[in-house]
Amino acid sequence: MRRKLAAGNWKMNGTAACLAELGALHKMLPTAPPEVVICPPAPLLFRAHEAARGTGIEIGAQDCHMEASGAFTGDISASLIADTGALYVIVGHSERRDAHEERDRDVRKKAKAAWAAGLTAIICIGETLEDHEANNTLDIIAGQLAGSLPDQMTGTNTVIAYEPIWAIGTGKVPTLEQIVEVHDFIRAKLETRYGADIADMVPLLYGGSVKPDNAATIFQAANVDGALVGGASLKAVDFAPIIQALADS
């Protein structure tokens, strides 16, 4: 049975003082919560791991370099992330693909680097508004899956997050039917490439303006196993209802 996962991406937000939200979130978790991951900025990784000790909340990074070490000033390797106690790393987020011009092959290499360091890779895919309006969503998703996923993917080393770029931070959310279509398509593509056993184990997250008031509707979809949440994950009072909705789904 696939695990449910609620992941919070703090992006370039938060200071050490904000880590108190982890303790607050722990107190608000349901009795049988899904897996919960918080991805703070890199300088907070170790302190976040310490702050989350004993809460059941796991810590992840927002990106990693594709190389294990070397002359890459300002970058952070997957092994350095693992050394902080983190267990997850996001790769291929649309903001990285756009602002840093990351390509599918870069994302694929980063995923393999994450695995080599013992991390679970949360691989992001998603289409732009232009592609969405041109009805090219499934073609874009198919291309990103083919280019971004390594052949060695398993049901335990990878989580896939579908984030329509036009919905991230905009308040716009696809209809439930549109989310179902894309997530069912992803699952089918995984089954064709990796076989049913692996495809059935990979959690598929939805991301893009997930809020307490729409989470329960989104989690109605059979192939939505959780969410990658941005702004609503910064405060426990906002993230906890999303986690509760996932637990109830």
One digit per residue, the tens of pLDDT, for the chain of length 249 reads: 799 999 999 999 999 999 999 999 999 999 999 999 999 999 999 999 999 999 999 999 999 999 999 999 999 999 999 999 999 999 999 999 999 999 999 999 999 999 999 999 999 999 999 999 999 999 999 999 999 999 999 999 999 999 999 988 888 889 999 999 999 999 999 999 999 999 999 999 999 989 999 999 999 999 999 999 999 999 999 999 999 999 999
pLDDT in the model for residue 171? 82
Tell me the C-alpha distance between 192 and 200, whole Å: 11
Whether residue 95 contacts residue 68, with contact meaning beta carbons closer than 8 Å, is answered with no
Please list, residue by residue across 199-209, b when 16 or more beta carbons sit within 10 angstroms of its beta carbon and e when fewer do.
bebbbbbbbbb
Tell me the C-alpha distance between 244 and 13, whole Å: 24
CB atoms within 10 A of CB 151: 8
User: Which residue in 203, 174, 247 sits closest to 3, CA to CA?
Assistant: 203
Whether residue 66 contacts residue 52, with contact meaning beta carbons closer than 8 Å, is answered with no
Q: Which two tokens stand for residue 104?
A: 């599918």
pLDDT in the model for residue 169? 81
Tell me the C-alpha distance between 50 and 57, whole Å: 11
- Which residues are designated catalytic? 93, 163
Domain ranges of the chain: 5-21+38-124+133-248
pLDDT in the model for residue 173? 82
pLDDT in the model for residue 1? 78
CATH value of 5-21+38-124+133-248 in 3.10.129.10, 3.20.20.70, 1.10.10.10, 3.30.300.30: 3.20.20.70
pLDDT in the model for residue 237? 98
pLDDT in the model for residue 170? 83
Residues belonging to the chain: 249
Tell me the C-alpha distance between 211 and 242, whole Å: 7
User: Which residue in 21, 35, 57 sits closest to 159, CA to CA?
Assistant: 35
pLDDT in the model for residue 172? 83
Q: Which two tokens stand for residue 81?
A: 């992330």
Tell me the C-alpha distance between 159 and 123, whole Å: 6
Whether residue 89 contacts residue 126, with contact meaning beta carbons closer than 8 Å, is answered with no
Tell me the C-alpha distance between 15 and 4, whole Å: 28
The answer to whether the pTM exceeds 0.75 is: yes
pLDDT in the model for residue 58? 98
